[in-house]
Structure 1
Amino acid sequence: MRLHALFSIAVIMLFASSCSHRKSAKRAPSVPPPPARTVHIGDVERGIASWYGVPYHGRRAANGEIYDMRQLTAAHRTMPFGTWLRVENESNRKQVNVRITDRGPFVGDRIIDLSQRAAEEIAMIGPGLAKVKLTVIAPPKGEVVELYGVQVAAWSDRERAEALRRELSGKFPHVVVVPNDAAPVLYRVITGRSTRDDAQELMARLRAAGYRGFVLRLDLPKMGVSGPS
């Protein structure tokens, strides 16, 4: 009986030790990225680039856009959204211009995560990583500056959305109804079309007037918009 009891105690101690080891080996919680910094045309940064595609394709990027791996975009930890960069693969001198739309990468010493298409442009799909030179450049001619607004509500009933648009028009700027591109269709009531800071101020005004909402990035040329322009 004593031998059985000693064996049971030993098993319990071994299990507790195992659990304690697994608990101590857990990864620390991820640290949020540092705030965006100010950049200027001509600024240069060098480091390691990686790229991302599936399964992130179709998911929402950090700036509010839907990530499309076929577009020339990239993720950076601190550069402001909308910053344009010339990315040069220093092993083959191939270059591509990308727009920052997302945050990352958060692995090791990597400085930028390119979209799959951008990685293809500089021939780094196979290796997966490449030493690159980043140069801040001016946006391409005709490129629309990033615009922000406030989504006040969303309904499946378009008439209800249009009624709120009429209610808000005249009190708040540029009120539109925007259907989403998924099923079932929701009609989003969005107001404002300016900078992120202006959108934050607009959201505060809306809340003071008894409305709810959240700031989002606009891509109005691609939306089916109704209402005054």
Structure 2
Amino acid sequence: MPDFPAWVLSCLLVACLGLAGGARDAHARHVKHGVHNVAARQGRAARHHHHHPLRRLPPLPPMKTVSSTWSQHGLASWYGTRREIGHRTASGDVFDPTAMTAAHRQLPLGTLVRIRAASTGRSVIVRINDRGPYRGRRIIDLSPAAARMLGLMDRGTMMVDITALPPGGASQG
């Protein structure tokens, strides 16, 4: 092996360590901005909805409490394809298409709400147990059971009025 001056060996060592550090930094950037961290950036609820990624809305911070006068008017849709059945919702429940449940972006999990179809006047009471919808102007995603009772299954979307019920208020009317 040829004799190299100490300064040449030192330069080579520094260069090699610098390259290794750069590779580590490049990997860190990939993990931070790449597919490895998508689920962490989108939050747990976003993983439960499989909509077009370009139309996905950013998650909103959940409300801590709901006023007894809280209401919302907007577009409802339903979800519950084979892909969701059996998966866990944001509340930890296993998704059940026969349950009277819904996904809302902000209402506290466990909140009971009355959903009234603006066009027909039909209403149902559902429990918020998931997060979503994250698509377009939609404000709530209903389970197939709730959607069926409102007549939403064939239409896909409809305008609804949502009213929060006080705890134990499902029987009020």
Report if TM-score (shorter chain) is over 0.5. yes
Question: How many positions carry a matched residue from both structures?
Answer: 117
1:115-194 correspondence runs (5 A)? 115-140=143-168
Structure 2 unaligned runs (5+)? 1-52
- Which aligned segments of 4 or more residues in structure 1 are displaced greater than 3 angstroms? 27-32, 139-143
- Matched with 1:54 is 81
Establish whether residue 36 from structure 1 lines up as the match of residue 62 from structure 2.
Answer: yes
Task: Give 1:119 deviation, angstroms.
Answer: 0.4
1:1-229 correspondence runs (5 A)? 32-37=58-63, 38-55=65-82, 56-140=84-168
**1:101 is aligned with what amino acid?**
N
- The verdict on how the C-alpha distance between 1:28 and 1:114 changes in structure 2, with shifts beyond 3 A counting, is closer
**1:40 is aligned with what amino acid?**
S
- Matched with 2:5 is none
Percent identity (aligned): 40
2:60, 2:105 within 8 Å by CA — same for their partners in 1? Answer: yes
Task: Give 1:32 deviation, angstroms.
Answer: 4.9
Provide the C-alpha distance between the structure 1 equivalents of 2:126 and 2:92, rounded to a whole number of angstroms.
17
Task: Give 1:28 deviation, angstroms.
Answer: 6.0
Task: Give 1:140 deviation, angstroms.
Answer: 4.0
Provide the C-alpha distance between the structure 1 equivalents of 2:155 and 2:145, rounded to a whole number of angstroms.
15
User: More helix by proportion, 1 or 2?
Assistant: 2
- The verdict on how the C-alpha distance between 1:125 and 1:36 changes in structure 2, with shifts beyond 3 A counting, is same
RMSD: 2.2
Higher relative contact order (CA 8 A, sep 6+): 2
- The verdict on how the C-alpha distance between 1:29 and 1:108 changes in structure 2, with shifts beyond 3 A counting, is closer
Task: Give 1:34 deviation, angstroms.
Answer: 1.6
2:102 match: secondary structure = strand
Provide the C-alpha distance between the structure 2 equivalents of 1:109 and 1:126, rounded to a whole number of angstroms.
19
